[in-house]
A and B are shown apart, each in its own frame.
Chain A
Amino acid sequence: MTTATAIVPGLTMERRSTFWLRFSRNRSGVIAAAYLVLLTAVAFGAPLIAPYDPLEQTLAAINQQPSAAHWLGTDDIGRDILSRMMYGARVSLIAGVASVGLSLLIALPLGLVSGYVKGPLDTVIMRFADAVQTLPALVLALTISAVLGPGLRNATIALAVVFLPTFLRLIRGQVLAVREETYIEASRSIGTPTFDIIRHRVLHNIASPLIVQAAVTMGFALLAEAALSFLGLGVQPPSPSWGRMLSSSYTYVYTAGWQIFIPGVAIALTVLALNVLADALRDSLGREIRTS
């Protein structure tokens, strides 16, 4: 940043551009972001670019090895794996984004109020978070999915509930630290309404750790969705999903072993990308502090 000022004296740099400047210097972060953008494009452009219908069965060509016609081969009932991967990416991404989004939607107002106002409301909210957290994440997700019934929507809701305590805790903890800062006191001393202080002055200061946590959690959501689908509680057949594909190829691990690696590698890569992105965001988003 100091270099930037030196190059263009008198010109003020916006915080946003500092962020991009720092982020663009982080090579692995850029690669991860590019991969995720590409994946999103492929997932949502699947109807246009997928070579085959993901549901079309060709029983004459089952468990075929990768070839020019089927770049990633075919599965146990002769469906094109590449096409199914493309459509499946959509499920994974939706599950990741929607579950984290839903969780944040609930956790953000609750956590902000809990941390800022404190008192009995805080106790109630945090004891609820404690209760949810006593249960192992995946077991809880499984139970909720089982109760609500299988399907992508219910799996997403289940995951959102599982993530809730983590977000609540993170938000509340950050708010507790920020609310004691002199600048919040200063905001109060000029007569800013409490609601504006929470929504504006506090929220902006806790945004960075939250964004990072959201990216990490998306990785976990992706894995959890795959696990739920693998166990038959997520996306229902014949719709393609990475977790589903993992479980069906599992049966043929000795006869068509390459199949299991395709969704496996895709899941691993995507989770890795999300984690690398989270790291890069953390490094670039850090609150501006004066370096002497």
Chain B
Amino acid sequence: MRGGITRFAARDDGPAARVAGFMAHLRESGFKLGVAESDMALRALAATHPEAEAVRAALKCVACGSAEDWARFDALFDSYWRNGGRVRTKAVPSGSSMQHTRNCRSAAEGQASGSGTADSPDTNGDGESEDGGDGRLIASTIRNLMKKDLREVVSPEDIRQAERVALRLGAALRDRRSRRARLSAKGARIDLRRTIRASLATGGDPLRLARKRRPDRPVRIAALVDVSGSMTLYARPFLAFLAGLMRADAASDAYLFHTRLVRITEALRDDDPLRALNRITLLADGFGGGSKIGAALAQFAATYARRFVNGRTVVLILSDGYDTEPPEAMAQAMARLARRGCRIIWLNPLKGWRDYAPIAAGMAAALPHLDLFAPAATLEDLAALEPELARL
């Protein structure tokens, strides 16, 4: 037997408490675990031999629930059981649970002093490594260019208006038919099951024919908004639109991109619209900086799109297409995204200008993959798109 497993970091009493401590450690690192899992972990341990490797493997298949968890587990396991109380540095915040774990405060200190309003008691990054006293270090991503408080950019009225627009757009897109049949009085096909069931009342003669048809199914919208420097002017309506969309449609998804891509779906679903914006502000460090659209889209296609985008998804890209990278990257990313079977709509605020031609190299590279390329600079423009979307 290897030594590590018996040298416990915390002086807990009994294996149950130690396992509970470990589960808490995982939970803090973004694992979704409840009491039931702790119980399951104990039962799993009871069914395995007490060898270090067996214990690791057993806890692994109980605690993990996704490929990301699976990849991170071993490091977390080692940091908890084998480091004998030293500072743990492996607790990388997961992408999906983005509440208070992403500490951009320390990195942003220098530049943020001007606008410094993005603080709320629950997101004070400096306190993070001290609280609890067990010296957990949370990795921070230093990619900050400048920090802007989105609450100054978007007002609650905007969001309410945007919510209405988003609802209407969502309804316009809702035209994919389900393969799952539903009972319907005017359906084209006969629902045999119900017809026969009803015929029993009439001695086996199917007098009343129950019909079924394939109902319309809502599409999912995945919206990607460019918040790079060149888009600052248009950020207001677009962010309001995102916030509205998230509140109007529970199945939609939202992302921001500039030099990298951030998923803001969870943050935007916050009950309080202002707090939601505050949370995005924390995520969107780099707001107003340069743009790497191709790279951001490639990242989207390779990661989130594989999970959230399918044939029933509409990908909505709101960007001016000014990319600082070679257009090949863009073409490749778009081709890859299009292969997911989704429809892609690109709304470009510049297209509304007179004499506009998509000569920005990135924009030109993306064009062949688009189902719709339309102008949109304000919320009104977005609302006006309704008939076009319905025709898609």
Q: Do A and B bind each other?
A: no
A interface residues with partner B (beta carbon < 8 Å): none
